[in-house]
Amino acid sequence: MYFDELDISDDLLDALDAMNFEECTPIQEQAIPKILEGHDLMGIAQTGTGKTAAYLLPVLDELSHGNYPQDSVNCIIMAPTRELAQQIDQQVEGFAYYLDGVSSVAVYGGNDGVRFEQERKGLELGADIIIATPGRLISHLNGGHIDLKKVSFFILDEADRMLDMGFYDDIMKITSYLSDKRQTIMFSATMPDNIQKLAQNILHNPVEVKIAVSKPAEKIQQTAYVCHDGMKDKIVEKVLSDDTLDRVILFASSKMKVKELNITLKRKGFNVGAMHSDLVQREREEMMLAFKNRRISILIATDIVSRGIDIDDIQLVINYDVPRDPEDYVHRIGRTARANRDGQAITLVTPKDWQYLLKIERLIEKEISKPDLPEGCGEKPEMSKSAMKGRHTPGRHGGKGRHSKRGNGGKRHGKPKNKPSNNAQQ
């Protein structure tokens, strides 16, 4: 489907044309008509599938010609991190290039008092769209800087990451300030139990749109080392001793394990840093910047960064633990072999984790190589017959009027000097 087949305004189509967006992605084709019809929506889609445009375009279309309050906040977009909030704000600026008077303000933590005051002024003047991280929006709500009673659109982007970062209570608190008449749109890359619980609490008779997880890039060399728990640290040390490796992400399934590995590998002389949900936003940003700038070469992390890192030259991803959700495996190893580069993914598998590895192979429709352990790391354990019964053949099973805002608190979108840029569809 092409964008000009959608029931959206000519002004939005002009902006899309200027950004060289012609054909809808699958998530856009399925979600945009449902949102335009006014349905609450639960979208399951990975980063990079075009989901940001899938919710921004229908909401911008409604705000540009709908009968919405001129001096109130009309749309709240929640994002887990400052980086994503900034990306969404840039997309709003591009898509709203030809719209008259639609305004936006991005609010996020990690800034000084001057930035907070600028945000406060923008919020009190009533920008159409607020893009916010949960903690920062809570701060403004506690200060009485924003009224959410007239919000018509409430959007949660990367909801699973927000819950991984411990924002469930903040989201529910923010929701309590909203009108029950709002339209709620939620996007998540996966659908674990906590996301289903959140959806049940904040969505009303939602339609569900699910885009199948894409398979890992062909250039990723995937390996699984079958081992006992006590062998894992030795295997990791042996793998990381390769002098050619200076861009590695090591994923562990708990923040406690991330902290332990960080201490262990530092003692062994490796240049490592840790990323987990106990770090505040400023600390996470500093750690990510250090990794991007190569001040650290190995990032040990929970799934907090499996979909939130944009670095093209990661050489190796190590799964210290087998992800319980096979889609998480795809997200994790998708950090390597980007921009048509080669990459490696190594997963450490204990006998009790065998069933989870089989689920991964079933999803990716490929059997992962299981070589002998690296020299000096011992012999891989014999698999019991009961465990091996789970063997399978991968792939056998398979899913208009316009109004303008008063005041100048928000960023104004409407025919700036430079044409909208074609940021990657998020």
Coil, helix or strand for 345? strand
pLDDT of residue 398: 40
250-295 confidence digits (pLDDT tens): 999 888 999 999 999 999 999 999 988 788 777 887 898 899 899 9
Predicted pLDDT of residue 396:
39
Answering whether pTM is above 0.85, one says no
What is the predicted pLDDT for the residue at 110? 67
56 in Cβ contact with 385 (< 8 Å): no
Q: What is the DSSP string of 117-161?
A: HHHHHHHHHT-SEEEE-HHHHHHHHHTT----TT--EEEESSHHH
**220-388 has the same fold as 3-212+401-413:** yes
pLDDT of residue 419: 57
**CA-to-CA distance for 345 and 115, rounded, in angstroms?**
41
3-state secondary structure of 188: strand
| Per-residue confidence (pLDDT) for residue 384, from 0 to 100 | 60
User: What per-residue confidence (pLDDT) applies to 389?
Assistant: 54
CATH number of 3-212+401-413: 3.40.50.300
User: What whole-number distance in Å separates Cα of residue 269 and Cα of residue 260?
Assistant: 15
Q: Which residues of 4-36 are buried (b: 16+ CB within 10 A; e: fewer)?
A: eebebbebbbebbeebebeebbbbbbbbbbbbb
pLDDT at 410: 54
Can you say how many angstroms the Cα of residue 290 is from the centroid of all Cα atoms in its chain?
Answer: 20
Element (H, E) at 346: strand 343-349
Give residue 30's pLDDT. Answer: 94
Could you tell me the residue ranges of all domains in the chain?
3-212+401-413, 220-388
| Per-residue DSSP letter, 369 | B
Distance CA 348, CA 236 (A): 9
**DSSP-based three-state secondary structure for 351:** helix
Any residues with CB less than 8 A from the CB of 372 and at least 6 apart, and which? Answer: 379, 380
Looking at the chain, how many residues does it have? 426
Residues of the chain with pLDDT under 70: 48, 110-112, 304-310, 339, 384-426
**Identity at 417, one-letter amino acid code:** K
Give the largest CA-CA distance in the chain: 73
* CATH label, 220-388, candidates 3.40.50.300, 3.80.30.20, 3.40.228.10, 2.130.10.10: 3.40.50.300
